[in-house]
A and B are shown apart, each in its own frame.
Chain A
Amino acid sequence: MLTEAEIKTFIDGAIHYFAVSARQPVAVGSPYLITDGTPTVHEYTGVIAISGRRNGAVCFTAPRSMLMVLLMRMNETDTSETNMKDLIGEVANTISGNARRDFGKEFVISVPTVMETEGGKFRPPVTARPFIIPLNWRSHSAKLIVCLE
């Protein structure tokens, strides 16, 4: 069974990114489960594959509008697709780095990959029920998807 501490580590990674890079805290919404197995994702998704003590994936997915505002907040004028992908990868990378630090050698955490997933659904690599953690920032909402078994 996935523990609260394990999920919290990933949430903390995202909180840390917004606090440091965007200099504006993100509010964690009430988490819930996906019972049909395929969570919906926003336009951009950064995926971290995890193996070792747990297997599965952790995703950070955010809408284009949120990433655009985030880029502007970071004084970045280039809001091209490439920059959006870089940004989502950076958030995923921070989450992954935080997990590496907290979990140590028990978890094997991959380098994040970025997907452009407009209106799509994320198919988790394992059958575990995905946890969705809404992340509300300004008027936008992103999601952290934790699907580990």
Chain B
Amino acid sequence: MKSSFNWSRAQRSPTLFGAALLVFALSVLWPGFRLAGRLDDTTAALRLVSEQRRQAEVVAGALVSVRDRLESFGYVDEPLGEVRNGVAELDGLLRTLSADTSNAGTFSTSPGRAIQGAEALRADVGVLEQSWADYRKALVPISAFQGVPYADSEAAGVQLNEAGRVLAQEARKAIVAARKQGPLLAAALGKVSTALEAESTRLSSYLRLLMLAALVGAVTLGVGLVYFLIARRRQAALLADAQRQTNDILQTVKEGLLLLDGKGRIGATHSGSMLRLFKRESIAGISFEDLLKPIVPAKTLQTAMRFVEVLWSERTKENLVKSINPLQEVEVSFDTGAGQETRWLEFDFHRVKSQGKLVNLLVSVNDVTPRVRLARELAESREKAQSQVDTLLGVLHVNPQQLRSFLSDSDAAMKMVNAMLREPAREESAFRRKLDSIFRQIHSIKGEAAALGLGTVESRAHEFEDALKEARERPSLSGGDFLPLVVKLDDLFTHLGSIGDLVSRLAQLNYGPGGGSEETEEAGAPAAAARATIAAAAAPPPTPIRADDPISQTLSQLIEHVARDRGKRARLVAEGLGEVPAAYRRAVKDIAVQAVRNALVHGIEAPDFRERSGKQAIGSIKVGFRSEGPNGFRLVIEDDGAGISLRKIREAAVNRGILTSEDAARLESKQLLSLLFRSGFSTQEVTDEDAGRGVGMNVIAELVKELNGRVGVSTGEGRYTRFTIVLPSVAASALATEDVA
């Protein structure tokens, strides 16, 4: 918004012109006015003198007429009146001319307007006064005469009476005086008249000069005015051009620009984009708060207004303040009538200073919606890609059969959980039963995910268990308390579904047309082996990759992962697990997973401790399964670890409020060990991903119960723990299940 226009000059010109006009008025017009007044006075005086110049002759004629009429006894009132009038006129003239002669010789015809230079007339006026005074003396008896100058009697007829005679005598004297003083008076009046004419001429000359000066001044001012108008017009054109350029910039720029004053009001000038950005018809005059209020949440508005307030404080550094700008990238929402439109705006603030003083805030606004959306899409796809890579890396090492089995089992378990959730329930006890059942299913998924090293699944299942635990601890339950569980179930479904999709896609790559299926695991390359593993998980491979049965593999991996996480060392000694009947395979795997995990967490000691105790550093976990003919099957899980501490069971039972300390002390070892199978019972104080919720043993007990089997536990403190599970023959179990149904 830069302009070449000189604003100070533009502002100065009218001031200068006004001052010049004032000076002109004071120096020319005012003296002219005064001079014209004086000229007027002089002219008036001259006219007065001219009018009275013949007055002496008129009076002389009237005196002769008085005398003649008295002698002929004629009517004298008329000439007497003329004498009186003449006296009055000349008195008036003299009063006028000599009114201010005492005032330093000035001469004035009207109050307050003295004729300059009248000192020259003073002598003439003095002569005039003297002449008139002498002449007037002779006239006074005549002008003062009142009455009738005649007396009429029968005897004498019409005669002058006494007054008439005196009047006649005074008239004759006055005629003599008039002959002597009349010319003098006329001469004095002539001199005064001449002096006034000279004064009048002088004043006229001055006035002409003044008028000439006025004319010159007026022409100069006129020229100045024309110059000024031209300059003004040029300046106006420059201003209009600058204004047009500013408008062009403001209308063209995509950035929203506005100025805020100290009261937070938006200035009248702003970029055209502002209206488009804020979907308004006008924003001038409204406050910044009013502008933001309809489009941002109340909390954002509050923060933004506080920020603007801080910007007005000049003590704070602008760059520092800008770094905490809450409107740097703000989500806004517009009501379009048909719904809400969400966009992202970027606000930037700059302090505008004038003569070192903060006067405005320049606010620039940009619509960064495409950028934000793109960034979000990029972040989402990056996250998705990362998640897929993580999942891929997670499944690459898993045995294909195990993975396939896990995905299938987990899907069934989750559907089971959903079915349990769906089961109508209105009573507290029904809700609690649901929770226990769901717990077991999720714990199984978690156990197998841990065994397979599927960390993303394990962590989700663990979080699910957290939610279950929280629900369990509620004093009362309602359907709404299951909402977090359903949300987590949905997440687990989605996650396992994505693993399934990934595995399927990779299998297609391996087995599909041109999928590069030449490589086999025999090539020995890890990548090829990995592809083979995944392909095998999605579709049955032509030959098994490892000779071990899936349950043994699962347990080996479980031991490997848990031992590594806990800094322990252990090995699996498996026997007969490949002979598990199909009907028991899932249950045996779940039972073994829980028991082996317990053995590792609670039984097997740390290697150095074992060595100090005279044991081998590597612990041993034996899992044996054998058929006992018509009596069914026997599953034994035994570790050579620390055994089960009855003291810890007692303490845990008391701490968890299951038993009083007296009852706990009274219980025998068998009764104490049975507590391990109770739901929610654990001797571990802290819950982690492997233990602590008291679910594992309960899962074993419930599974065995479902299969109509029996479970027993024996232990030698510091030496071993052995779980013995007896399962009926498959036919017997099926029969028993039908009976229950």
Contacts and interface: CB of A to CB of B under 8 A. Distances in A.
Contacts of A8: 480, 483
A125 interface: no
Nearest to A49: B339
Interface stretch (B84-92, B488-496, B578-586, B625-633): B488-496
Interface in A62-107: 104-107
Contacts of B489: 33
B418 A4 contact: no
A129 B493 contact: yes
Interface string A15-42: 0000000000001111111010000000
Contacts of A136: 426
A3 B487 CA distance: 7
A3 B483 CA distance: 10
A1 B490 contact: yes
B418 A33 contact: yes
B228 interface: no
Contact of A29 (B415, B479, B494): B479
Contacts of B494: 1, 129
Contacts of B431: 30
B157 interface: no
A32 B480 contact: no
Interface in B676-723: none
A148 to B, nearest CB: 11
B425 interface: yes
A35 B415 contact: yes
A134 interface: yes
Find the residue from A11, A27, A33, A51 having the highest chain B CB count within 10 A.
Answer: A33
B478 A28 contact: yes
A131 B425 CA distance: 17
A2 B494 CA distance: 12
A108 interface: yes
A144 to B, nearest CB: 11
A27 B478 contact: yes
B490 A105 contact: no
A106 B490 contact: no
Contact of B421 (A30, A52, A110): A30
B482 interface: yes
B342 interface: yes
A135 to B, nearest CB: 9
A49 B710 CA distance: 54
Interface string A112-139: 0000000000000000010111101000
30 contacts: A1-B490, A1-B491, A1-B494, A4-B487, A7-B487, A8-B480, A28-B478, A28-B479, A29-B425, A29-B426, A29-B479, A30-B434, A30-B479, A31-B479, A32-B422, A32-B486, A33-B489, A33-B490, A35-B418, A52-B340, A52-B342, A104-B297, A105-B340, A105-B342, A106-B331, A108-B339, A110-B339, A129-B493, A131-B487, A136-B426
Closest 6 CB pairs of A and B: A105-B333, A32-B422, A32-B421, A29-B479, A30-B482, A28-B479
A57 B644 CA distance: 54
Interface in B437-494: 478-480, 482-484, 486-487, 489-491, 493-494
B297 A28 contact: no
Interface in B337-357: 339-340, 342
B478 A33 contact: no
A interface, by DSSP: helix, strand, loop or mixed?
mixed
Find the residue from B295, B424, B484, B486 having the highest chain A CB count within 10 A.
Answer: B486
Interface string B493-506: 11000000000000
B interface, by DSSP: helix, strand, loop or mixed?
helix
B479 A2 contact: no
A145 B489 CA distance: 16
A104 B422 CA distance: 32
Contacts of B424: 29, 134
B490 A30 contact: no
A108 B342 CA distance: 9
Given A33-B493, A105-B333, A131 B478 contact: no
Nearest to B495: A1
A33 B421 CA distance: 9
A73 to B, nearest CB: 20
Contacts of A7: 483, 487
Interface in B416-436: 418, 421-426, 431, 434
A134 B422 CA distance: 9
A134 B479 CA distance: 8
Nearest to B487: A4
A118 B470 CA distance: 39
Contacts of B478: 27-28
Contacts of B415: 35
A129 B333 CA distance: 28
A133 B481 CA distance: 12
Contacts of B491: 1
Contacts of B340: 52, 105, 107-108
A2 B483 CA distance: 11
Nearest to B425: A30
A32 B247 CA distance: 61
A94 B108 CA distance: 102
Contact of A35 (B339, B479, B493): B493
A52 B434 CA distance: 36
Contacts of B484: 4
Given A32-B418, A35-B418, A106-B342, A11 B297 contact: no
Given A29-B426, A30-B421, A105-B333, 13 more contacts: A3-B487, A7-B487, A8-B483, A28-B480, A30-B425, A31-B421, A31-B482, A35-B418, A35-B493, A52-B340, A53-B342, A107-B340, A108-B339
Contact of A1 (B333, B480, B487): B487
A114 B375 CA distance: 38
Contacts of B339: 51, 108, 110
Interface in B491-530: 491, 493-494
Nearest to B435: A30
A31 B486 contact: yes
Given A30-B434, A51-B339, A52-B342, A131 B480 contact: no
Contacts of A108: 339-340
Contacts of B333: 104-106
A100 to B, nearest CB: 9
A17 B494 CA distance: 33
B313 to A, nearest CB: 31
Contacts of A32: 418, 421-422, 486
A108 B338 CA distance: 9
Contacts of B295: 105
Contact of B483 (A27, A31, A51, A105): A31
Contacts of A132: 422
A7 B477 CA distance: 18
Nearest to A1: B491
A53 B341 CA distance: 11
A29 B339 CA distance: 33
B487 A2 contact: yes
Contacts of B297: 104-105
